[in-house]
Amino acid sequence: MLELQDVQAEYGDLRALWGVSLVVQAGQIVALIGPNGAGKTTLMRSIVGLHKPSAGSVYLEGERLNGLSPHAIVQRGVVLVPEGRHIFASMRVIENLELGAYAPAARRERAASLERVFAIFPALVERTNQLAGSLSGGQQQMLAIGRALMGRPRILLLDEPSLGLGPLVVRDMFAVIREINREGVTVVLVEQNARMALQMADHAYILEQGRVVGHDTGAALLQDDGVRRAYLGDVVTA
């Protein structure tokens, strides 16, 4: 469904991605794990057109995405929930959600999408007229994901959805991600909580210093001694 071929990206003289290739099959949850500075966020931004790759290609069902504008990529069903949420704090919850349905096709389905979002995030129902900036961190993350769902994504990109959230909220957030995936949305997940990401991932890629250094099923990587030492904090004895 989504394929990256030898994608390179820079910030000035600093190269962030070195020939990254990966494949995301329809209906999967694919996790990207790796240390800070590995290029995970740059990769996500390159997929949705917020960062222009200097080489390589991004394809959605055979159509080349790089070169298209971010809004054209959203219209094709690829939507990013960025790290840090980036909600509009001075606007009401309902206004944030409605902004997610700006594309013509999404606008036509706005009422149904709003009903779906409220079913997934009932905590937002009673806060529709509340300023988004007054929400708790967990509620703001719900709003950010809900706004993305208003765009009727086929592929949902989530960049660090659990960042700054408490353990119980994180548990609930991962349950929501599973539910969204079960409804037919393909998910690409960058996540600092590598254990939880691998537990839910059909497939996962490891990025280090802008390169893919390994990939396998989530279950297999959970059993890999190197992954357990480097990313899960496990003490592995010989």
Which domains are delineated in the chain? Answer: 1-75+155-162+187-234 (3.40.50.300), 78-152 (no CATH)
Q: Residue 102: its pLDDT value, please?
A: 85
Alpha carbon distance 208, 39 (integer Å): 8
Amino acid making up residue 142: M
Q: Residue 235: its pLDDT value, please?
A: 62
Please state, in angstroms and as integers, the Cα–Cα distance from residue 178 to each residue in 55, 109, 140, 196, following that order.
33, 23, 19, 12
Burial bucket for residue 91 (CB in 10 Å: 0-12, 13-18, 19+): middle
Walk along the chain (238 residues) and give the pLDDT tens digit of each residue.
999 999 999 999 999 999 999 999 999 999 999 998 999 999 999 999 999 999 999 999 999 998 899 999 999 999 999 988 889 999 999 999 999 998 888 889 999 999 999 999 999 999 999 999 999 989 999 999 999 999 999 999 999 998 888 888 889 989 999 999 999 999 999 998 999 999 999 999 999 999 999 999 999 999 999 999 988 887 665 5
pTM for the complete prediction?
Answer: 0.92
Alpha carbon distance 97, 236 (integer Å): 46
Sign, CA torsion 29/105/3/161: negative
Q: Residue 238: its pLDDT value, please?
A: 54
